[in-house]
Amino acid sequence: MELRQLVYFEAVARHGGFSRAAEQLRIAQPAVSAQIRRLESELGTALLQRTTRRVALTHAGELFLARARAVLDELDGARAELDELAAVRRGHLRIGATLVLASIDLPRSLARFHRRYPGVTLALRTGLIAQLLDDLDSGTVDVVVGPLHDDLPAGFLAEPLAPENLVLITAPDRRLPPVATLATVRDEPFVCLPAGSGLHALLVGAAAGEGFTPRIPFETHSPGSIRELVSAGLGVALLAESAAYAAGPAVQVHSLDPPLAHPPIGVIQVRGRVPSPATRAWQQYLFSSWRPAK
């Protein structure tokens, strides 16, 4: 049995005749007829009922058609995957990422992806989510990995990848219980990311819920520098749990009562923009590697 016999048979069944099938396949009708007869001979049964006006499937033909189409669909899928792989091998990928990524180990992910697709040129830009979304919108980056805030503009499409939590951090010698309320430190100076950042909005909103306005004399550019300032005793801070427990200056970490939600970490792309093969491969790798099993 040859692949072309399956192709010819499927075309005859779909078009209801040899002439239309031959025209669609752009080959001579006798060649189609000969291959179908050879297929029936190999199978030992008639697949088609032939009349002077039309061609119909026998019962055996109906059963065989379903199998033939499944084989051809699998083959088309394999060809598409190979075409995709060829495109990925010579692609380019520009990733935007925030410094807070929950359980996602971005350096290891990039290294493994690069080993899998060594022909892909990789570029990474880190920063606050607002700037990265501007970069994504302008096409400076192809995809963003970062927190999925509730006010994400409608022009972006987001898919959650990993959960994240908020904790309170204080200096190593600060005496507070393991679980604390935000109101407990209402009179303390706060360290935070700049106004306009998601973390700044979370702090202000949570403090308002506790009945006070936080005093924020120290605004800095990254979660790491927040830890440095808090560790030095200059204030307290809300911080993503993954950043609070990452390698860095010593701080005390306190769970919050009531708990404060941090946006989940996810993948963000521009809605309606077709991702490149390399971008799709990166997203598939992330979700297969880091998304927790349901």
Instruction: Dump pLDDT digits (tens) for 8-53.
Output: 888 888 888 888 888 888 899 899 889 888 888 888 889 888 876 7
The tens digit of pLDDT for each residue in 227-276 reads 999 999 999 999 999 999 999 999 999 999 999 989 999 999 999 999 98
Question: Do residues 236 and 173 touch, judged by C-beta distance below 8 A?
Answer: no
Q: Quickly state the pLDDT bin for 4 (edges 50, 70, 90).
A: confident
Stretch 188-214: mean pLDDT, rounded? 94
pTM for this entry: 0.68
Q: Quickly state the pLDDT bin for 210 (edges 50, 70, 90).
A: very high
Query: Does the pLDDT at position 293 exceed 50?
Result: no
Cα torsion at 15, 16, 20, 24 (round to 10°)?
30
Radius of gyration over every alpha carbon of the chain, rounded to an integer in angstroms: 30
Of 45, 43, 41, 53, the closest CA to residue 17 belongs to 53
Stretch 179-195: mean pLDDT, rounded? 95
Query: Does the pLDDT at position 212 exceed 70?
Result: yes
* Phi, psi dihedrals of residue 64, rounded to the nearest 5°: -70, -35
The pLDDT of residue 21 = 84
Of 150, 144, 177, 137, the closest CA to residue 257 belongs to 177
Stretch 75-83: mean pLDDT, rounded? 72
Q: Which structural domains are found in the chain, ordered by start?
A: 3-88 (1.10.10.10), 90-163+264-290 (3.40.190.10), 166-256 (3.40.190.10)
Of 154, 149, 176, 148, the closest CA to residue 253 belongs to 176
Q: Quickly state the pLDDT bin for 196 (edges 50, 70, 90).
A: confident
Question: Do residues 73 and 66 touch, judged by C-beta distance below 8 A?
Answer: no
